[in-house]
């Protein structure tokens, strides 16, 4: 598996809240949900 790199991503509060709800629905962390979407 490839080495992971840290990356700072700034999003507004409303977007972060939406990501939290979506991630919780799919039993993922917000970080894992963002990785899933980007793949």
Q: Which residues span the domain enclosing 39?
A: 1-39
pLDDT in tens, 9-38: 999 999 999 999 999 999 999 999 999 999
CA 12 to chain centre: 13
Number of folded domains that form the chain: 1
pLDDT beyond 70 at 1: no
Q: What is the pTM of this model?
A: 0.79
Please give the DSSP secondary-structure letter assigned to residue 27.
Answer: T
Quote the CA–CA distance of 20 and 28 in Å, as a whole number: 9
Structure tokens at 19: 């990501």
């Amino acid at each position: 598996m490839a080495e992971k790199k840290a990356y700072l991503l700034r999003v507004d509060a409303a977007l972060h809240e939406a990501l939290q709800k979506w991630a919780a629905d799919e039993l993922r962390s917000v970080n894992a949900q963002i990785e899933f979407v980007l793949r």
